[in-house]
Amino acid sequence: MSGRLAVVGLGPGDARFLTADAQDTLRQAEAVYGYGPYLDRVPARPGQSRHASDNREELARAGAALDHAASGARVAMVSGGDPGVFAMAAAICEAIDAGPPAWRGVDLAIIPGVTAMLAVAARAGAPLGHDFCAISLSDNLKPWALIERRLAAAADAGFVIALYNPVSKARPTQLVAAFGTLGRHLPATTPVIFGRAVGREGERLAFTDLAHAGAEPADMATLIIVGSEATRIVTRPGLSPLVYTPRAAVEAGR
Amino acid sequence: MSGRLAVVGLGPGDARFLTADAQDTLRQAEAVYGYGPYLDRVPARPGQSRHASDNREELARAGAALDHAASGARVAMVSGGDPGVFAMAAAICEAIDAGPPAWRGVDLAIIPGVTAMLAVAARAGAPLGHDFCAISLSDNLKPWALIERRLAAAADAGFVIALYNPVSKARPTQLVAAFGTLGRHLPATTPVIFGRAVGREGERLAFTDLAHAGAEPADMATLIIVGSEATRIVTRPGLSPLVYTPRAAVEAGR
């Protein structure tokens, strides 16, 4: 008797970025699992159980939700942004891959959402208007040398670069190291956008360039977009600048 | 007297993927502009004018909407998926950059949405669970040699790759050429997902591998995800397979 596990993308935070599908799924769930601060964004409903857990306990949280769903319940797991981008969907798939056969029988649905780089890009103009990539700077799960290699390859090939998980208490200096690597592959004037808590309370957007990016404050709620050599800035009197990457590419300089 | 231009992401198609923000913005608009098939997804409202245009006329459409907004109206421009990803936001910014000063005074808002790669990834599992990139295969706006260089760089660096605009009447064979390039940099067994019209009528999801990807049918409504060497497939009795890329990276083989 297998139930359903829906992994629901909450988007950037504010309810206005929720899709109708996400709202309906949360409304119908008998149990909701998630990292505490994400769970706090979901209104409590009578008869619906809530299961908050810590940020570092992704696999344990996945297992608990899968067990609950496998028992026949309609379970929702909330995820910030889009569940498929550096979030809970991969953790759930990993758990199913390594877990008991009953978990493979769970009807798994991933409900997509607006991931942070789309929200930040929307506020800034259209920096992701041409080919781009997304890189997590967390080296909990991969060697730093690999991160550096990917940064260099992306910059050389002319991708705009979205940086997720830029800093944490355990790695306060890696973001500056990443800008150093990018600075060896891109002009110092390359536009850089810092978007903190975009789409929720405390939103802050800052525009700088690669030469000065290391001096900008950043935390785990910050998403950073580093332009390519093609990225341009349009100044507007009385309005914030527009940062965009044209649809037409010129061959990159290297 | 400047009005507002909102560029609204419609997501994959079905209204259940619209955000509340997108719905409210469309409801309040006095005029709605867009490519005909996207405009058809928006219910007509009394007193709201509608301005459909052809797919190829992005800059002309941007200019008409900016003129209308600059005259003081509340104008919405609809865009498939997310406006910032190979869609209207960059065309609007280009128009403002090159256009008359009045366009810089327009209050421009980009309303983010669920872009196609997130919708396809959600249906397949979590193929974008680790570092990834998005590449448009349209060579209207960039040389094919640059596309090939980016494909090779992304594959070598271990990025999962989402391919937008894979084919058109003008370039029916380039997708096969792209798979050929990727096949020189990735194992033949690399998982490949074809998502056609995901999130709307006629949805079709197909799973294959790089050796056989050239034989899959694709059109402009198709979004393709090519895994990395780390991407895995979980088979499930009676359910479709899950394709996912683990959060933890191993150093790529090359």
Q: How far is B44 from chain A (nearest CA, A)?
A: 20
Residue B151 within a domain? yes
Q: B219 is in which domain, residue-wise?
A: 116-244
* β-pair type (A49-53, A31-35): parallel
Residue A135 within a domain? yes
- Within this chain, do residues A62 and A151 fall inside the same structural domain, yes or no? no
Residue B251 with chain A: CB contacts under 8 Å = 143, 145-146
What φ, ψ does residue B75 adopt, rounded to 5°? Answer: -115, 140
Task: Write down which residue in B111, B134, B165 finishes a domain.
Answer: B111
- Within this chain, do residues B102 and B131 fall inside the same structural domain, yes or no? no
- Within this chain, do residues B218 and B236 fall inside the same structural domain, yes or no? yes
Q: Give tens-digit pLDDT for A199-254.
A: 898 999 999 999 999 999 999 999 999 999 999 999 999 999 999 999 987 544 33
Q: Give tens-digit pLDDT for A96-150.
A: 999 999 999 999 999 999 999 999 999 999 999 999 999 999 877 789 999 999 9
Among B21, B125, B129, beta carbon nearest to A16: B21
Residue A39 within a domain? yes
Q: What is the pTM of this model?
A: 0.96
- Within this chain, do residues A37 and A147 fall inside the same structural domain, yes or no? no
Instruction: Measure the CA angle with vertex A103, ends A57 and A19; round to 5°.
Output: 70
Among A18, A58, A247, beta carbon nearest to B141: A247
Q: Give tens-digit pLDDT for A37-51.
A: 999 999 999 999 999
Residue B93 with chain A: CB contacts under 8 Å = 125-126, 129, 232, 234, 242, 244
Residue B249 within a domain? no
CB A22 within 8 A of CB A8: yes
- Within this chain, do residues B212 and B120 fall inside the same structural domain, yes or no? yes
Residue A11 with chain B: CB contacts under 8 Å = 19
Kindly tell me if the per-residue pLDDT of A14 is higher than 60.
yes
> Cβ separation of B93 and A244 shorter than 8 Å?
yes
Number of domains in chain B: 2
Task: Write down which residue in A76, A111, A146 finishes a domain.
Answer: A111
Q: Give tens-digit pLDDT for B86-100.
A: 999 999 999 999 999
> Cβ separation of A11 and B19 shorter than 8 Å?
yes
In chain B, DSSP finds a helix count (H) and a strand count (E) of 8, 13
CATH of the domain at A197: 3.30.950.10
The answer to whether B27 faces chain A, any CB pair under 8 Å, is: no
- Within this chain, do residues B104 and B182 fall inside the same structural domain, yes or no? no
Mean pLDDT value across residues A163-179: 90
CATH of the domain at B81: 3.40.1010.10
* Structure tokens that stand for B174 in this block: 């380039």
Q: Which amino acid is at A69?
A: A
> Cβ separation of A131 and B135 shorter than 8 Å?
yes
Residue B252 within a domain? no
- Within this chain, do residues A132 and A203 fall inside the same structural domain, yes or no? yes
Residue A250 within a domain? no
**pLDDT for the residue numbered A251:** 47
**pLDDT for the residue numbered A66:** 98
> Cβ separation of B93 and A125 shorter than 8 Å?
yes
**pLDDT for the residue numbered B139:** 75
- Residue from A192, A130, A184, A206 nearest A163 by CA: A192
Phi-psi region of B231 (alpha: psi -120 to 50; beta: other; left: phi over 0): beta
